[in-house]
Amino acid sequence: MDWRERNGVRWLEAKMHGAHAAFTTRLGGVSEPPFDSLNLGVLTDDDERAVRENRRRLAAALGIDPSQVPIGLQVHGGEVIRHERPQSPSPFAEPGSPLPEADGHVVTAPGLTPLVFVADCLPIALLGPRGLALLHCGWRPLAAGIIAKGSVMTGATEAAIGPGIGPCCYEVGDEVLAAFEGLGEGVADGRMLDLAEVARRLLAAAGVDKVESAGLCTSCESELFFSHRRDAGKTGRQAGLAWLNPIEFPTAEMPLPRAA
């Protein structure tokens, strides 16, 4: 993955075969602390006017149409929905519009740019001959089979895993450990769960053999990312999004911060 920046908006970008995935940071927006500055989530205590402006800035930086960005009401489940056309009215461009309950989205048409909101959970893009998916992968959606479902819907052969909370910071309880004990050793060290490793093993089980991972911990990298756990829930949301038939943009390259 490469760091990109345009007009102050900074993101990580993964090149896939016929698509790009982008994972945003908290940089480049107008929100005030503790949502500073590129908070994309309306369902926070941030000023909605600031979130609207942040979404506009992100769309302008990436060169996408905000009315073409499918989103859902994320309920930490395994539901993945397919979009053949833009949502109307667009809940991304017009916050407050009706939202379907879903933690994953699949598109097959160029121009549509599925997006999920995250603040420790993993945003994961899947690409295959049947479509492009963007999945919101906290432990509950992973345990609910969201990767298997998204992989079947797209025929996924490759994936890009964005930043999320790392095993350095993700202490979990018995319920969470039990959900993944069937994956074997190495997904947890005591109570410290490696969410990205869980995702990698589930992707392998789904037949996805090409996987790129950001390897960055949202809890550790406070200057770059929002973190629900680090900030005790009073925080913003970054996003993962992806699009088919990508267009190259004039950007600045930056060194990658340390991995988690």
* Domain definitions of the chain by residue range: 2-244
Q: Residue 109: its pLDDT value, please?
A: 84
Mean pLDDT, rounded, of the chain: 94
Rounded to two decimals, the pTM is: 0.93
pLDDT in tens, 50-106: 999 999 999 999 999 999 999 999 999 999 999 999 999 999 999 999 999 999 999
Helix axes 146-154 and 195-205, enclosed angle (nearest 10):
40
- Local confidence band at 254 (pLDDT 50, 70, 90 cut-offs): very low
Q: Does the pLDDT at position 257 exceed 80?
A: no
Q: Residue 201: its pLDDT value, please?
A: 98
pLDDT (mean) for 100-127: 96
The domain defined by 2-244 folds into: CNF1/YfiH-like putative cysteine hydrolases (3.60.140)
pLDDT in tens, 176-198: 999 999 999 999 999 999 999 99
Q: Which of 126, 127, 128, 129 is nearest to 137 (CA)?
A: 126
Degrees (nearest 5) of the Cα angle 241, 143, 157? 50
The contacts of residue 100 (CB under 8 Å, 6+ apart) are: 72, 73, 81
Interatomic CA distance for residues 5 and 11, integer angstroms: 6
Q: Residue 247: its pLDDT value, please?
A: 44
For strand 210-213 and strand 158-161, is the pairing parallel, antiparallel, or unpaired?
parallel
Q: Does the pLDDT at position 251 exceed 80?
A: no
Interatomic CA distance for residues 148 and 233, integer angstroms: 29
